[in-house]
Structure 1
Amino acid sequence: MRYEELENVPCSITRPLVVLGDRWTLLILKAALNGVSRFNGFQAALEISRSRLRDRLDRLLEHGILTKQKQPNSAYEEYRLTQKGHEILPILMAFREWGDRYMAPDGPPMYFNHRHCTGQAHITLTCDACGAPLTTPDIVPVPGPGPRFHKL
């Protein structure tokens, strides 16, 4: 199956990978979540080619993850995260926690603290019915109402 055809696979893990599944897209989103909003800012922060950056930004615009806004009294346009874009934060935080655990032998390069109490932000899986914390053995895939392709 070709990469472009994956967007038609009825799987809620596979479909987002078509949009988010390359490193540059995730790094652009990381930069946007950290306040970068201008084309040149993304390019400088990531040292990415202009054509590749344009391609990834256009894809994020097309999928409603970013929006482009003209700044008043300025020739510049800024890229802003939409609500859909802000909801990618937990995905990046999960990557960060995994990276801190397995790829940061000297400790985390950065902490992400709660603004109001300085506690650290963490991703946890919990049951929506009883609130119990979940790990892989606790989770069982069951068919949902949408079309089926594969379990996970």
Structure 2
Amino acid sequence: MQRTQFGQMACSIARTLDVIGEPWSPLILRDVWVGMRRFDQLQADLGISRKVLTERLNHLVDQGVLARHPYDNRPRYEYHLTTKGAELVDLLMVMAGWGDRWLAGEAGPPVLYRHHACGEISNVDLRCAHCGEPMHGGDVDLLPGPGASP
């Protein structure tokens, strides 16, 4: 089954989905972020087929989100987040915050986040880069940007 391609759309959400919109990709990125870098670790944690994991890893490497680093002569690789991939972790943290709020249930969130700068347990808070005020969907107007379609 062929995936729908969104990369040519004049929409940054669609373009991002073209990179990580397949359900396994964010979970692979999550696992690499927390330190699972080898194929067998990823496969065991996710319970994903080897074929699908190979396809997803190749796609994420091709998109510049992950980088392969050989660790023996077979060849075998470890996967590391690139700068581009590390920025996607911010998106995963926002997704986790939504899931914690709406889906965690009585048990509460499965993961807590300790902020390196202050040492406190916190959560992601979207703020305007200019004024520092909270910035959510209802707080913005959408205007055509320089890359907008005519």
The runs of 5 or more residues in structure 2 that have no matched partner are none
Q: Does the 8 Å CA contact 1:113/1:120 hold for their aligned counterparts?
A: yes
Match of 1:146? 147
Q: Is the 8 A contact 1:3 1:18 kept in 2?
A: no
Q: Deviations over 1:8-39 (max 9, x none)?
A: 10110101101101221111000000101111
**CA distance in structure 1 between the partners assigned to 2:73 and 2:117 by the alignment:** 34
* Paired letter, 2:99: G
Aligned to 1:76: 76
2:111 is aligned with 1:110: yes
- Percent identity reads 38
Larger relative strand fraction: 2
Q: Tell me the secondary structure at the aligned position of residue 8 of structure 1.
A: coil
RMSD between superposed Cα atoms in Å: 2.0
Instruction: Please give the TM-score of this superposition, normalised by the length of structure 1.
Output: 0.88
Residue 84 of structure 1: how far off its partner (Å): 0.7
Could you tell me how far 1:116 is from its partner in structure 2?
A: 5.1
Higher relative contact order (Cα pairs below 8 Å, separated by 6+ residues): 1
Length, aligned pairs only? 148
* Structure-2-length-normalised TM-score: 0.89
Give the corresponding residue for 2:39.
39
Q: Quote the residue 1:131 is aligned against.
A: 132
- Three-state SS of the structure 2 residue aligned to 1:79 is strand
Structure 1 stretch displaced more, 69-78 or 134-143: 69-78
Measure, in 2, the Cα distance between the counterparts of 1:116 and 1:73.
40
Distance 1:35 1:74, change over 3 A: farther
Residues 37-67 of structure 1 show CA distances to partners (whole Å, capped at 9, x for unaligned) of 1111110110100000000000001001111
